[in-house]
Homo-oligomer: A and B are copies of this chain.
Amino acid sequence: MLEKVDLSRKLDKEEYREKMAVLQTQLGKLQRECKELKIPVMITFEGYDAAGKGVQVGKLIEALDPRGFEVHAVKRETEEERMHPFMWRFWTKTPAKGRIAIFDTSWYRKVMIDRFDGETPEKEIADDFNSIRAFEKQLTDDGTVIVKLFLVIDKEEQKKRFKKLMKNKETAWRVTKEDLERNKHFKEFEKINEDMFGRTDTDYAPWHLIEAMDRRYATAKIYTVVINALTAAVEEARKGRKDEVNPGLKHDEFQVSALSKADLTKSLTKEEYTKSLEELQEKLARLHGELYRRRIPVVLGFEGWDAGGKGGAIKRLTQAMDPRGYVVNPTSAPNDVERSHQYLWRFWRAMPKAGHVAIFDRTWYGRVMVERLEGFCTMKEWQRAFKEINDMEQDLVNSGAIVLKFWMQIDKDEQAARFKARQENPEKQWKITDEDWRNREKWDQYEEAVNEMLLRTSTPQAPWIVVEGNDKYYARVKVLKTVVEVIEKRLKEEK
């Protein structure tokens, strides 16, 4: 793409002033419209060093209401960020509906500057581009506008600007050895950028090249590009086209039946249980310390029928662990802030850093269960979700995490018995609500959705474990045992 850019383009002062008066008014108005229509906007500034990214960010926000945007300057990863998947710091910074997030360099740093500098291993590049495409696809599918700007200057201009900066004591520090290296090998750096365009110039998030030799021309073009993108999004949102809501159940008997395979007669005696529990918890305590020392993050998700025994199993796990090293995240209906982001955002935020354990009592799989069945999302949304979830878990695994998902399986009779017991026990009555009874009526529909979920999202790197749960002793020991075995295997592999 770079070769087709005409770097001679300019605007004189007079023309610039006239244009900008109009453009700034337009952009201000569009920001208000986006807020009203709840459109989230992300604008990224990428490009060559000394092309004027910082200056242009400053120019762009002149027209914006400061209560409606934030600017993120993307530097080297912090210690905290390095202990998470590479896209984590960007997922957590995605804007709420109606807000604008501006990035002064972005997620492209890793596949551009860091790649040129040799800091990004070539064997990771394909994975990195997958993560980036998945990120942009998921967000734009969810209604976010992503405007990607790339500021272009040529080799000579860059050299000139570097020299000018270096002459002045107060700005000399801004030119690094790496900057000069990239200027020296401009052609090679250009090749890396072309590869990046080829892999990420998509219809949902296209690149916009900004001719940045002339500051005024660049400013006016950036305004125009952003205005065009927001105008299109506003028009689209005004049409208010709604996708179909449809749980897409087939009710035929050829469905996958992972659940029906579970042998619910499995059980343990009290003695067996007590003995196993003690042994396994002792092991887990030791392993938990080892995980911490080796900086391996662990993600454990729990799903299952109401009264399926999630809470009991989680309790037996956490009893064995140092409370400074784990967090249990209970997941209920999303709150206002969560609802104003893409559905995976709240889970990204809760992902553990290296060496820590995050346990989820109910998870992101709500998208393909309750949201699918109750019509809280459209058919297209839950159909897309299988891949979106697999992509997220792949990002976690790529960053070194252990990811396990447990489905606590009981049969309908056992659930009835547990519901009854809860109602009769004054201390447990709070655990049972009208909603539980309503969900129970939809047992068959849930079963179909759960079976499809288990099939499509059980991967070798992030498997589902169906836990036979009619006998609580058996279920708790199976969960503990699985966690212990997977960690042991992993620690052995890494030695």
Query: What residues of chain A have their CB less than 8 Å away from a CB belonging to chain B?
Result: 1, 3-6, 8-9, 126, 191, 194-195, 197-198, 201-203, 206, 209, 220-221, 224-225, 228, 250, 252, 254, 256-258, 260-261, 380, 383-384, 386-387, 390, 394, 451, 454-456, 458-461, 463-464
Query: Cβ of B221 and Cβ of A254 under 8 Å apart?
Result: yes
Question: DSSP class of A's interface residues: helix, strand, loop or mixed?
Answer: helix
**How many copies altogether?**
2
Q: Which 5 A-B pairs have the closest CB atoms?
A: A221-B254, A4-B258, A203-B383, A224-B254, A126-B126
Least CB distance from A121 to B in Å reads 14
Query: Cβ of A394 and Cβ of B198 under 8 Å apart?
Result: yes
Least CB distance from A464 to B in Å reads 7
Query: Cβ of A256 and Cβ of B203 under 8 Å apart?
Result: no
Listed by A's residue number, 23 A-B pairs whose Cβ atoms lie within 8 Å are: A1-B456, A3-B458, A4-B451, A4-B455, A4-B464, A6-B257, A6-B258, A8-B261, A194-B459, A194-B460, A195-B460, A198-B390, A198-B459, A198-B461, A203-B380, A203-B383, A203-B384, A206-B456, A209-B256, A224-B250, A225-B254, A228-B250, A228-B252
Query: Cβ of B384 and Cβ of A456 under 8 Å apart?
Result: no
Q: How far is the CA of A343 from the CA of B193 in the complex (A)?
A: 30
Residues on B with beta carbons closer than 8 Å to the beta carbon of A451: 4
Residues on B with beta carbons closer than 8 Å to the beta carbon of A197: 459
Q: How far is the CA of A387 from the CA of B3 in the complex (A)?
A: 18
Query: Cβ of A458 and Cβ of B202 under 8 Å apart?
Result: no
Least CB distance from A56 to B in Å reads 14
Residues on B with beta carbons closer than 8 Å to the beta carbon of A202: 387
Residues on B with beta carbons closer than 8 Å to the beta carbon of A256: 4-6, 209
Q: How far is the CA of A6 from the CA of B466 in the complex (A)?
A: 13
A385 (CB) vs chain B CBs: closest residue:
B203
Residues on B with beta carbons closer than 8 Å to the beta carbon of A460: 191, 194-195
